[in-house]
Amino acid sequence: MRQLEHCQTAIACLIAAVEKRGFVMMARMTMVQALAAGQPETAPTPRNPAKKYRIIS
């Protein structure tokens, strides 16, 4: 059911953008969210630790 809500919002934003009443970027973001709504979240990739620097005064 949640997937359907995302699709309806995306289509509404897309129609608004086509009719020059909405933003194209908003339509794009909602389409990407609707396509990714049913997929599980990916695990974050591990980051390298920060390098240590000495402050020379």
Chain segment 11-48, per-residue pLDDT in tens: 999 999 999 888 999 999 999 988 888 788 888 888 89
Q: What pTM did the predictor assign?
A: 0.62
Measured distance CA(37)–CA(2) in Å, rounded: 8
Phi, psi of 47 (to 5 degrees): -100, 150
Residue 1 pLDDT exceeds 90: no
Chain segment 3-19, per-residue pLDDT in tens: 688 889 999 999 999 99
